[in-house]
Amino acid sequence: MLLFEELNIIEPIKKAIKTKGFTKPTAIQSRAIPSLLKGMDLLGCAQTGTGKTAAFAIPILQGISLQHKAQASRRQIQALIIAPTRELAIQIADSFEDYGKYLNLKTLVIYGGVSQNPQTRDLTKGIDILVATPGRLLDLINQRYVSLRNVKYFVLDEADHMLDMGMLQDVRKIITHLPKEKQNMFFSATMPAEIEKLANSILKNPIKVMVTPVSSTVEIIEQELYYVDSGNKVNLLINLLKDKEIISALVFSRTKHGANRIVKNLVKAGLVAEAIHGNKSQTARQLALKNFKERKTRILVATDIAARGIDIEELSHVINFDLPEVPETYVHRIGRTGRASHGGTAISFCSHAEKPLLKSIQKLIAKSIEEVIDHPYPLVETSIEVIVKSDRRNTSKKSIIEDKPRSSRRNNDIKKKVVRTEKTRSNVKGHKMRNE
């Protein structure tokens, strides 16, 4: 693998990289930077945590800064980076500022959910690099605050998340405002058909860089599994968080209500925790994130969408309070820890009902997650699947029968039913509430 020294990076950027404390480029950086410096298009299959931001920010900064010297006129937007969430957009802009610390370039980040006035004020002053979420960008283009006529570098980051979040229509409209001649960089952790089509429509003979975070990220992260009843998850969480070795924990909840409820319970137990999700105002989300980054809050409870792209160096623990419905999301979640080369721990709670989700996750990561057996809230929920068939010859198909009186097995219809024990029934209510 190449070293930063061998990548032909200009002195001021090298100095900034040194200030960040990076010694070696990551895989995506050493593969992408040389081609991007030559002006090629790029298709990157990579997710947050691989160092992809620097992989595109460094060549863009270098390209603009070399041209900038010759260009004495007023600043114009030369690079546009579109990202799906406000948090990610802010982090990308921060990276441009970090790596461009010793260059005379201006970066601006714009996103929705806040007043547009400070953003339009900054835009009229003139900027070189614009990082934006699609909705607000399109708004400001339509109001003629943004002109993309001079864009020479275009980055679409986390395209698959844009698809999930229904943003592709806006993205396509934005693209119509861009000049044909420009360098394009397209990043997506996964490549569903629609994303592939979009990539093909934008990119010209791109170099393709794939980094496989699924295995690489997963390898350096310690993963633990706790089987626990859904009604006992909060108690287990409180119990685990008493461990002082958990320096900072990002807890994932499936729903916004669930996230609020977890925080309420943690606070009641005397722990400092905050929630971050789409129902919170932008200011509240930024503040919660800032407190967490500055270690004022030890525990941040988030939904997947709100946590997308959150980049917190040295996050020690990710806790899956609820397992995700989509197995890839597990990898995205645990990738919040184990950044670049740091290790980390990912803890997952699995209730009886979540066992099929666990199975898909283990299949995706191609390994079984180690189970912690000795804990105070072991799983007691049991589900009894009774398949009773009138034709006894067929009963071998699938029949798991536990703790069930014989009488109930007598049934003439072909029926599959889930019977719960008394203990489970008392938990069912809590589980239902969690899915509200």
Kindly list the residues in this chain that would bind ligand AMP in the complex (CB under 6 A). Answer: 22, 24-26, 29, 48-54, 311, 313, 339-340
CB of 73 or CB of 341, closer to ligand AMP: 341
Least spacing, CB of residue 92 vs ligand AMP, in Å:
8
* Residue 331 to residues 19, 89, 111, Cα–Cα distance (Å): 30, 21, 26
CB of 49 or CB of 206, closer to ligand AMP: 49
CB of 22 or CB of 102, closer to ligand AMP: 22
CB of 54 or CB of 323, closer to ligand AMP: 54
Least spacing, CB of residue 175 vs ligand AMP, in Å:
23
- Give the number of residues written for the chain: 436
CA-to-CA distance for 4 and 33, rounded, in angstroms?
A: 10
Report the half-sphere exposure of 158 (CA within 13 A, side-chain side).
28
Task: Report residue 166 as tokens.
Answer: 């229904």
CB of 32 or CB of 123, closer to ligand AMP: 32
CB of 141 or CB of 220, closer to ligand AMP: 220
Least spacing, CB of residue 387 vs ligand AMP, in Å:
47
DSSP characters over 48-101: TTSSHHHHHHHHHHHHHHHHHTT--S-----EEEE-SSHHHHHHHHHHHHHHTT
CA-to-CA distance for 198 and 172, rounded, in angstroms?
A: 8
Least spacing, CB of residue 21 vs ligand AMP, in Å:
7
Least spacing, CB of residue 245 vs ligand AMP, in Å:
22
CB of 51 or CB of 327, closer to ligand AMP: 51
CB neighbour list of residue 393: distance below 8 Å, 6 or more residues apart: none
Least spacing, CB of residue 343 vs ligand AMP, in Å:
13
Neighbours of 152 (CB within 10 A): 18
Is 348 in contact with 358 (CB distance < 8 Å)?
Answer: yes
CB of 162 or CB of 273, closer to ligand AMP: 162
CA-to-CA distance for 426 and 47, rounded, in angstroms?
A: 41
Task: Report residue 147 as tokens.
Answer: 């002109």
Task: Report residue 310 as tokens.
Answer: 């959150």
Least spacing, CB of residue 396 vs ligand AMP, in Å:
51
Least spacing, CB of residue 203 vs ligand AMP, in Å:
20
Residue 246 class from Cβ within 10 Å (0-12 exposed, 13-18 middle, 19+ buried)?
middle
Q: Which long-range contacts (CB under 8 A, 24 or more apart) does 425-430 make?
A: 426/231, 427/229, 427/230, 427/231, 427/232, 427/381, 430/230, 430/231
